[in-house]
Amino acid sequence: MVTVKNPPFSESDWTHVVFTFENVNSSNETPSVASLYLNGKLQGAIREPLVYKWDLSKVSIMLGIEYIGDLDDLMIFRRAITPEEVTFLYQSSASL
């Protein structure tokens, strides 16, 4: 878990949230990395093995469980996006 001391959430401003996951289920010595970005800035990362043994035909993504608020512009990619891509997406959404 990445801890954020002063998260930028408010009732008046949108917060751009990005999670990236790299090397999940890696079969080599490359560590898995899970990173959290808020408003284009890296808040922290966890580097430890992430191994999931799931049947891809039965996987589902569930959003909004016990979440209160608004959600807009969900994107899911097949790969971890780079820090530069995170910045680009944040700047693109901030200019709308």
The tens place of each residue's pLDDT in the chain, 96 residues long, gives: 789 999 998 888 889 999 999 998 888 778 899 999 999 999 999 998 888 888 878 888 787 777 777 888 888 898 999 999 999 999 987 665
Residue with tokens 């999670």, as numbered in its chain: 19
CA distance 34 to 70: 24
Tell me, yes or no, whether 3 lies in a domain. no
Tell me, yes or no, whether 6 lies in a domain. no
Q: Are 73 and 61 in contact (CB under 8 A)?
A: no
Alpha helices in 1-96, H assignment, sequence order: 83-94
For the entire predicted model, the pTM comes to 0.81
Q: How many domains does the chain have?
A: 1
Domain that residue 55 falls in:
17-94
